[in-house]
Structure 1
Amino acid sequence: MGNAGNRLWAVALAAVVCTGLSACQEQPKPDDRSVRFTASGDLGMGSGARQVLDVVARLKPDFNVALGDFSYKAGAEQEFCRMVTRKLGPDFPFQLITGNHESDGHDGLIANFARCLPNRLPGLQGEYGVQWYVDIPQDRPLARIILISPGLEFQDGKELDYSGGSDRWTWTEDAIDGARGAGIRWTVVAMHAPCFSLGKYGCVAGQEITNLLVSKNVDLVLTAHEHVYQRSHQLAVGGACAWITPGRTEKSCISDAEGPVTQGKGTVFAGVGTGGLGGHKVQADDPEAGYFAAWSGVNKDPALGTLDVTITEARLDARFVPAAGYTFTDQFSIGR
């Protein structure tokens, strides 16, 4: 047998595991599944939004999560939807969660946006645009994406109740626990308003729902509302950190201060209010600044852009991709 024949024979032997004379079993193939999505909020309909949509189109993700605050103009739902579909195509999954500008209707209504940019992901559970989740991919899912709306006023002038033990708090908890019970490796929660921030807002989302997400070791929480980019360290409760209180930094609540970001040891928060408008300052001396690992605002490394997230069986990788003309970047990974 020549050299070529020897190589073929070696490949054949490596492809199977045989026991005895007749029982042969193929080796399991490596899990090469992946999910890729982009996320940003606070878009508007100007040149900045179109530039960020160009980035999304270039990246070709499986879907995009729009983190609320869309048109910034009353009665412009159809105009906003046309802008998106012209850039990304009429069937692209441009998935919505409401922001405060469309929850109460003063800059359009979330229901109208949801009609012209409908859900395009199979298996969605809940009320699209307000509170929903979906497993990605539907067959053998790698991740559950959970979207909620704490801290926002709706047309009746009231906020949805995400306080501890409420129906929506329980729904969120069940969605997280259900993913774990189904063997889904990764959980990502998205909502418009943050609790921790280097910008001008306080804890809009609420302490109880935020601490629930951390206590459940949700892998990644995405927010907008602040027109900045801000990415936290991995935060965790337990031991010396019983509760994360806004308005200060507790070093005991930071789990990755001296090591890698590892799944199950806490939660990373990424605020991506960079979808088109920009314009907020970041405060490096904010009392919560110790929780943050990277940031960009109008007064420091200003940028518009999107977060590009890739999830595999083994890891979650994310990077901030700036729009044309901007240079700020950030990247982080969560390993298993």
Structure 2
Amino acid sequence: MARSLGKHGKAGQGACLLGIALLLSACLPGPPGPAPSSSPGTPSSIPAPPSPGPGTPSTNAAPSPGESVHFTAQGDIGVSTGAKKVLDVVAGLAPQLNLTLGDFAYKAGLEQQFCDMVTARLGEDFPYQLVTGNHESDGHDGDIEKYVQCLPNKLPGVQGEYGTQWRVDVPARNPVVRFILVSPGIEFRDGQPLDYSRDSERWRWTADAIDEAKSQKIPWTVVGMHTPCLSVGNYGCLAGQDFTNMLIEKKVDLVLSGHDHVYQRTHQLATGADCAQLVPASFTSGCLADTDGSMVQGSGTVFATVGVGGVGLYNVHADDPEMRYFASTSGKNQDPAFGTLDVTATADELAARFVPADGYAFSDSFTVRRR
């Protein structure tokens, strides 16, 4: 016959059960703690999901509603007060990453000094993403390999040769933006430029990266390089006429460059019945797809040169026939400003603005919306 436990027996059994429950709860994982917050003025890092292996396509599911990618971009930087002011602007904007469009310290042997200047303002873990300019590509005024060592890639899923030709989807899962960084029109150690001529290996790599982004339904494609093609600064079409027209034909949303020490942003440009191709050093009105500040994706491509990262500015040449392609320009002789392009992309909109460094007033803004 079972014995009655009575008052004290039930209390003892309860204590035993409580002890077992506590032991079991100690073995189970608790809820994750809050993510560490960024210190004031320090850009926040992109969460790092598992990195896809080489050749692994990104998940092409639609981005989560409200998910965005915030990045800044500029080139032609140096190690002077101007460069530090621009880096301070970037730190204050707190983007998820920065596209650094070539020409870093402008002098051999200053690679570590440049890297230390960047990390002192943006932090050791911030994705300060590099593509080479002509001042470090051939080793004469710096070495891109040394910059890559002290400012290595910080984004998951990068494919290609980081610092020279690479691509990445951000976020790595359900991406909002595909970034494609290339190096046409500048010389490397053998004194020769890389081959981005029509149907070359590097041409096909770039074209395939654009096509794949569209096939995977990634909302936005951004191409970055050091050299521009269209310019009202000091240079001609170093990026190559054919290569530039290919970017337009494939409807890249935004093309970023440096090299010319000016800020210049085109209207939305397109080829078609009224513009068989874009021809540098000339103007064809039929190449203008949209000329206001609010554009629609697929109508054309916007080109922005942001060569105002901190070194001496160049003049804007208002008599250049390409001038009518540009919606906004700034240079030594016209609204001079150091600063950065600040871009936020969501599944529905890409919104960009030029943010000047302390002491400058020039500004520009534009948006591209998906249909």
Partner of 1:298: 332
C-alpha displacement at 1:257, in angstroms?
A: 3.2
Identical residues among aligned pairs (%): 60
CA distance in 1, matches of 2:63, 2:74: 35
Residue 144 of structure 2 corresponds to residue 110 of structure 1: yes
Amino acid at match of 2:149: R
Could you list the structure 1 runs, at least 4 aligned residues long, displaced by more than 2 angstroms after superposition.
257-260
C-alpha displacement at 1:259, in angstroms?
A: 8.6
Partner of 1:284: 318
Residue 121 of structure 2 corresponds to residue 87 of structure 1: yes
**How big is each residue's C-alpha offset from its partner over 1:146-184, in whole Å with a ceiling of 9 and x where there is no partner?**
000000100100100001000000000000001011110
**How big is each residue's C-alpha offset from its partner over 1:207-244, in whole Å with a ceiling of 9 and x where there is no partner?**
11100100000000000000000000000011121110
SS of 1:255's partner is: strand
Residue 240 of structure 2 corresponds to residue 198 of structure 1: no
CA distance in 1, matches of 2:64, 2:116: 41
CA distance in 1, matches of 2:343, 2:143: 28
C-alpha displacement at 1:278, in angstroms?
A: 3.2
Alignment of 1:312-327 (within 5 A): 312-327=346-361
Residue 43 (structure 1) aligned to one of 58, 77, 84 = 77
Partner of 2:266: 232
CA distance in 2, matches of 1:48, 1:218: 31
C-alpha displacement at 1:258, in angstroms?
A: 6.7
**How big is each residue's C-alpha offset from its partner over 1:116-144, in whole Å with a ceiling of 9 and x where there is no partner?**
00000000010000000000001110110
Backbone CA RMSD of aligned residues? 1.3
Residue 34 (structure 1) aligned to one of 68, 81, 84 = 68
How high is the TM-score relative to the length of structure 1?
A: 0.90
Report if aligned partners of 2:293, 2:365 keep a CA contact under 8 Å in 1: no
Report if aligned partners of 2:266, 2:327 keep a CA contact under 8 Å in 1: yes
Partner of 2:290: 256
CA distance in 2, matches of 1:99, 1:29: 33
**How big is each residue's C-alpha offset from its partner over 1:276-313, in whole Å with a ceiling of 9 and x where there is no partner?**
01320001111100100000000000000000000001
CA distance in 2, matches of 1:285, 1:81: 39
Alignment of 1:53-202 (within 5 A): 53-202=87-236
Partner of 1:208: 242
Q: Per the alignment, do residues 259 and 89 of structure 1 end up closer, same or farther by CA in structure 2, a change over 3 Å counting?
A: closer
Deviates more, 1:225-234 or 1:274-283: 274-283
Report if aligned partners of 1:278, 1:304 keep a CA contact under 8 Å in 2: no
CA distance in 1, matches of 2:367, 2:237: 26
CA distance in 2, matches of 1:289, 1:170: 31
C-alpha displacement at 1:107, in angstroms?
A: 1.2
Report if aligned partners of 1:237, 1:243 keep a CA contact under 8 Å in 2: yes
Q: Per the alignment, do residues 216 and 47 of structure 1 end up closer, same or farther by CA in structure 2, a change over 3 Å counting?
A: same
C-alpha displacement at 1:29, in angstroms?
A: 11
CA distance in 2, matches of 1:266, 1:125: 27
Structure 2: stretches of 5+ with no match in the other structure: 1-61
The structure with the larger Rg is 2
Report if aligned partners of 1:198, 1:284 keep a CA contact under 8 Å in 2: yes
Structure 1: stretches of 5+ with no match in the other structure: 1-27
Aligned residues: 309
